Structure 1
Amino acid sequence: TPVNHTFGISGGKQFKVGADNNPLSFFIVGSHGTNYSYTGELIRNTTSDGTIYQDQQGDKYSQNINQLVLGNINFGINKAHNLAYNFMMVHANNQYVGQYSGKHTESHQDSNDYTGRAIRQQTNDNLLFTHQLISSWKLSNKMKLNAGASYNRIKGLEPDRRENYLSKQDDGTYILTGSNRQKRFFSELKENDINTKVNLQYKLNDEFDNTNSALEIGYNGRFVDDKFEAVEYNFDALSGTFPIDNLQLDDLYNQANYESGKYTMSVGELNTYNVKKNVHSAYAEATYQLTSPLTANVGLRVDNVDMTVNHRVQHVEPGRESIKKTYFLPSLNLKYDLNDKNAIRMGLSKTYTLPQSKEISPYQYVNIGFASQGNPNLKPSDNYNADLKWDYYLSPSELFTVTGFFKHIVNPIGRVDQGNSAGLLSYSNISAFATVAGIEVELRKNLINRVNTATSKVNRVSLGLNASYIYTDLEVDIVNTPRR
């Protein structure tokens, strides 16, 4: 029986360097964990009129492996400047085998009484490397410069995903299903993500000597390059009937049977897409204490977005689409201190949401319960946000908060059934606008809070609670489906 296990190691040290005893410190953390799980699953799908075309019950056995390495080197210079380097490696390997029995017809194509067995074996292997260089420079008592850059590299593999379908016969035996139902699939995603930032902070004088009053100007840049490719291998269905218990597919689909001509293999076209995203952001913001209880923060950010997708995938003509737009994004935040324990906060802002790479590329991805396809004609969403928050400080470490929020979304993005014969889910701007509103309540309360006078250590047991109610309103208008 497999056993879940996790272990980790960490360490660090600080040194004094030079005549000024500048601090040089480092630490490193590493961990590894493996978890096994079993899931009993129900998979059901219907058409828009309620006709059930998939109704399956299955067993899924999973293994998840997670590995982490995190390191930091930090150097302080003359108590005024600071230079830091951060490194992070995250590796996640998730794999499962699932077997599903029951009704599984195509959405609008197969006979209504088709039943059988689906076997799916899948591995997702993702690796992330992150390098960060962060610096802070004190130019004067009032002026500070912050600058940094990061490089992130992601490699995502789905190696040798296998899908096999068997059809149940009247006598209870099974045959391998034809029509491209015996597949193996390989895909690779590579992402290079470069980020830069620089900002200049200048402390402002106010009559209350608030150290938070300041003016800040800055620039952020992000440059992303996604490259994806995938290929699918289809195998003929071997003739004959097979008992479903203890079925060993490797005894059927192997090199010997292939060389003897018992089945043939066809290789699909190579599917590729490349998404380049360049975002240049310039911003300015000011924080100022207007009165003794009232502090304001006002800002403006200008983003220039250039996003291009080049795609060559099956079922769609090769193409190139672009999103080029400049956004003006104002924000206003106010804080009013009623007394030492109560504060009211209000925020107003405009933001936007760009489509993800998988949402804007017309590549089809097939899962056990659905198939989805990106849409190169997607438009970004504009978001108008407002929130009002009450903070009640029970103690320095305890808090009760009530927040009301509102969001108006223009051109919201969603994944919906397009109502076509293939039963595809596709990403679309599903409505002209959407409204989201709600309330959130949060509590942080200490149940036990004891101070050891001998060691000055605090022994604390805390309770955290978070609850929210969200209301969403939009009218979905999709081709081939009723407006709702």
Structure 2
Amino acid sequence: MKNLVTILFLSCTVYLSAQETGSIVGKLTDKEYNDEPLAFANVLIKGTTKGATSDFDGLYEIGNLEPGTYVVVISYLGYETVEIPNVTIEAGKVTTINVPMSASEGVSLDEVVVTTVARKDSEVALLLDQKRAVEIKTTIGAEELTRKGVGDVATAVSKVTGVSKQEGSGDVYVRGLGDRYNVTTLNGLPLPSNDPSKKNIDLGIFGTSIVESIGIDKTFNVQNYGDFAGANIDILSRNYSGSGLLEVSLSSGVNTLVVGEQFYLNDGPTYSGFYDINAPAFPLNNYNFTTSWDRSEVNSPTNIGGSLKIGKTFNIGEKAKLNFFGVGSFSNGYEYREGINRGGVNIGTALANSEYDYIGFKYNTNTTAMANIGLISEKHSLKYNTLYLNTTTQRQDEFTGIIDREDDAADGGGFIQRATFERNILIVNQLLGNHKLGDQVEADWGVSYNMLINKVPNRRQNTLVPSINGVPESAKSFEFVSAASDNHRYFQDLDENELAANASLSYNFKVNEDDGFDGKLTLGYSGRFKDVEFYATQYNFRIRRGSGINQPLINDIRNIDGYFNQENLNAGLYSIETFRGNAGFGGALIPQYYTGNQEVNAGYVSLSYKLNPKFTMLAGVRGENITQSINWSTVIQGEGDNSLSTFEVLPSLSLKYEVTEKANLRFAGSKTYTLPQFKERAPFLFQEEVNQDTFGNPNLQNSVNYNADVRWEFFPTASEVVSLTAFGRYILDPINKITVASAANDVSWANTGDNAIALGAELEIRKQLFETEKEMPNTILKKGMSFGANFSYLNTNQKLDPTKIAEETTFTVRPTFTETGLSGASDFIANGDITYNFDIKENSNIQTTLAYNYFSDRIFALGSEGRGNLVDKGVSTLDFISSFQVNDHISIGLNAKNLLNPTVTRYQDNAIGNIDPIFIERGVLEQEVDILTYKKGLDLKLSFAYKF
């Protein structure tokens, strides 16, 4: 299958070609009135009938221009006419021409600012698109990302109203709703997650150097997949068009908690992250493991990064072009954490069943390679994109304290050491086509083949307890460790393969006075076909007891290899077994597994129509047939299978009314759904964290969402916007993460009730605080400061149904509350940034950005059995980003992330209000108890880039 798709891609690349037009946008200002916007000026292409009139903001746009060189003429009654020669229009790009008009002295061509970038790069063009679009959307282009000093996609989208970034990751929350409710696409095609426990890819791994623009649709459009209620985040990959690009960048930095400290990681994994190891042959009969149980010291834990970007355009004949862009990068990062880690809290005493002092060492790597090839000719376009990601996380975690108040190390003195290495390999291949079939008909299509490989090779955990009960300071021993799985080595492999395709045919009708069209009818198809295979084997080291067995004392907890070795195996001090059995059982080495298949076939029709000059409608309906099947074989559940099948009819309606030239009123309504993930439905026990296991619920069903949005937006100037949005979600069969009865904080997933309601509001303000210009002999130097802030409030409520949960789950759990909020939802989100930019000289400038983000407390998992909800405490973050463009070739950057360095806290909430009456008699948790706390430190980075 992989070879077939590759051959198909290469064949299409050889035989197909494409064409794009360019456009001109810009802003006209009035020199007679302090450079205020100049409305109703005429902009014409000399020798043609193409032209435009500037609006109240001085903005204009002339589109659908064939590539070539033109003369642009700008005129206004009583003002000098400006004629701009030799304006070059490039295919697929937008040329920005900003002109200050004057009545008395005319305009020198030196005052006219002309720049050419890809349309999705241009901040002016994107603001025009947002202003004119029917649907509610926000797009951030590369020009804005550069101006604000943004380095990755997660940070970029977190600047959008109602979007926050999860602390310590690139996961984003839209309007307070987390991973489950969002969709991530690349060039309109689905993008798999690099983490099998998440629905969406970590946006932090995408550097903005590969991005042309990022579109955030918070309302449903029938051309998008219906599995979302938060947002569709579409990354448009960068395409190059120019004479040539070669840029090298290097960076180095440190984390303040790591500097000057001894740092430890696992034995085995490599610095680069390209590491894998398989279980040894005959692992139950002999001790054949070659990696050490003990930690390994790291010298000079310094963060580094580097990237190489190349681009080139080749002319093929007179009208065809071949564009190429490629980027390769590597980066790493060291982190240190120190705090507390607690297990499930006992009702009445408010004491955790386990309680540790915790230290953790963490090392991440990210290797990215991406290439785009675009073939452009007169009437067709073809683009091939390929992306390779190799991301790794290595953790060395150590826990000291009470392992179990009723059993192991009940008075303290227990020690657990866990070494984990996880590797994710993501490969994306895409082929995209666009065809102009005359003036009124256009065809778009795309196909992608994605592969995800997730490996956890040789996770290791060992557990020691005091040799004398009740004496924490006594020498350690394995003898009194109760469970064989407390000392183990674990191997996991997961493979996902997904084929996806989009195709649409659009017909434009009803020509208007601007030679455009007031109506557009689109028919389309989308399909996703995913297969998943998960296999895992854990080798448990069972400590043997009894007459004749003398377990030694462990005086050095850093020398576990001195105990787990061939000599002590031969002496009978321990045995090696899997969850299925020991060497005497024939099927002991058969992995536990689950396999799954998911198919989505969808067809849609949409109609965009301008009812009158002020009122535009976009209506459509999408039908999706979804099947998701899963098979498993585990020790606890045995062998089994389950399937989910549904057909969803998903209508949508968007309305836009132009109240004035500067203000719009919008409405959007739709129906969508939320699909559970394979991991959430697989009845497999995942022991990914000490003190917290997760396991799936095979009876989990999809949710159905009814969505409504109303927005008022006002554009005071070309670079400013004020908007206010009210929105609501009505969710049937909401899916929530919920804690289950256990000594730890084990969680699973369930449809926790019949419905949930989410109501909220958003406010966005983008303001240019000041901007000045200084004329120089050969250029105009600018100085300015801009400010952006957005706020989002969300209130969620759901009535929990213990009977429904009992009937639709395979585990025993009763929610503590009768009503509560949705898991993963924050009530309040605030984002703010202030950017200062000034030009030192031609092609030399400094930009600095101070960016702030806050999200309020969000429920991690719903509480049960009298315990409150597990809640992630609200966090404020503050970042400083600066860049210095020295000249055409050299740029320098200085970043300081997480300046406030807040304490990250997860706590068990108290059970007050809306309590299930059954727990009033049994007792409830009446106070908050911190479950997990740590700090991340400040990340400081210095970067250098050279463009040849």
Q: Which moved more, 1:208-217 or 1:408-417?
A: 208-217
Counterpart mapping for 1:4-153 below 5 A:
4-18=303-317, 20-47=318-345, 49=347, 50-78=350-378, 80-105=379-404, 110=407, 113=410, 115=412, 116-153=414-451
Indicate conservation of the 8 Å contact 1:444/1:464, yes or no.
yes
Counterpart in the other structure of 1:219: 525
Q: C-alpha displacement at 1:427, in angstroms?
A: 0.9
Aligned to 1:190: 495
Q: Distance in 1 between matches of 2:621 and 2:676?
A: 23
Calculate the TM-score normalised by the size of structure 2: 0.48
Q: Partner residue of 1:438?
A: 760
Instruction: Please tell me the residue identity of whatever aligns with 1:183.
Output: H
What is the match of residue 179 of structure 1? 483
Partner of 1:240 in structure 2? Answer: 552
* CA distance, structure 2, for counterparts of residue 421 and residue 207 of structure 1: 69
Question: In structure 2, how many angstroms separate the alpha carbons of the residues matched to 1:248 and 1:464?
Answer: 55
Helix, strand or coil: the match of 2:543? coil
Shift of 1:458: 6.8
- Aligned-partner Cα distance in 1 for 2:635–2:791: 45
Give the secondary structure class of the aligned counterpart of 1:395: coil
* Structure 1 residues 42 and 249: CA distance shift in structure 2, 3 A: same
Cα gap change, 1:119/1:46 in structure 2, threshold over 3 Å: closer, same or farther? same
What is residue 638 of structure 2 aligned with on the other side?
A: 317
1:284–1:301 Cα contact (<8 Å) kept: yes
Matched AA of 1:441: L
Contact 2:402–2:408 (CA under 8 A) maintained in structure 1: no
CA contact (8 A) 2:703 2:734 kept: yes
- More deviation, 145-154/208-217: 208-217
SS in 1 for 2:354: strand
Counterpart contact for 1:206–1:288, Cα < 8 Å: no
Query: Structure 2 CA distance, aligned partners of 1:8 and 1:153?
Result: 24
Query: Aligned partners of 1:232 and 1:33: how far apart in 2?
Result: 31
1:338 aligned to which of 659, 666, 669: 659
Kindly indicate whether the alpha-carbon contact (under 8 Å) linking 1:311 and 1:361 is maintained by their aligned counterparts in 2. yes
**Alpha-carbon distance change, 319 to 440 in structure 1, aligned in 2, over 3 angstroms:** same
Partner residue, 1:250: 561
Change (3 A) 1:297 1:221: same
Provide the residue aligned with 2:536 in structure 1.
Answer: 230
Partner residue of 1:396?
718
Structure 1: how far apart are the matches of 2:438 and 2:781? 37
Which is richer in helix? Answer: 2
Which moved further from structure 2: 429-438 or 50-59?
Answer: 50-59
CA distance in 1 between partners of 2:617 and 2:513 (Å): 14
Task: Report the secondary structure of 2:510's partner residue.
Answer: coil
Aligned sequence identity (%)? 29
| Cα contact 2:510–2:518 (8 A) shared by 1 | no
Per-residue CA deviations over 1:51-79 (Å, capped at 9, x if unaligned) read 5212222010000001111100001121x
2 CA distance for matches of 1:212 and 1:8? Answer: 45
Residue 445 (structure 1) shift: 3.1
Contact 1:103 1:114 in 2 (8 A): yes
Superposition deviation, residue 235 in structure 1? 0.5
Indicate conservation of the 8 Å contact 1:375/1:428, yes or no: yes
SS at match of 2:612: coil
- Structure 2: where are the runs of 5+ without partners? 1-299, 545-550, 581-590, 803-812, 819-948
Question: Within 2, Cα distance between the matches of 1:328 and 1:208?
Answer: 37
In structure 2, the CA distance between the partners of 1:345 and 1:233, relative to structure 1 (3 Å rule), is same
Answer yes or no: is the 8 Å Cα contact 2:344–2:745 preserved in 1. Answer: no
Q: Which residue of 1 aligns with 2:595?
A: 274
Greater displacement, 370-379 / 434-443: 434-443
Give the unaligned 5+ runs of structure 1: none
Q: Which protein, 1 or 2, shows the higher relative CO under an 8 Å CA cutoff with sep ≥ 6?
A: 2
Tell me the distance in 1 between the aligned counterparts of 2:598 and 2:780: 52
CA gap of 1:323–1:59, structure 2 versus 1, over 3 A, is same
Cα distance between partner residues in 2 of 1:62 and 1:233: 24
Question: What CA distance in whole angstroms lies between the structure 2 residues aligned with 1:71 and 1:462?
Answer: 34
Give the strand-richer structure, 1 or 2: 1
Distance 1:110 1:292, change over 3 A: farther
**Does residue 512 of structure 2 align to residue 202 of structure 1?**
no
Matched AA of 1:118: I
Q: State which of 462, 465, 473 in structure 1 corresponds to 2:797.
A: 473
State the Cα distance separating 1:253 from its structure 2 match. Answer: 1.7
- Partner of 2:329: helix, strand, or coil? strand
- The answer to whether the 8 Å contact 1:48/1:481 transfers is no
Change (3 A) 1:226 1:458: farther
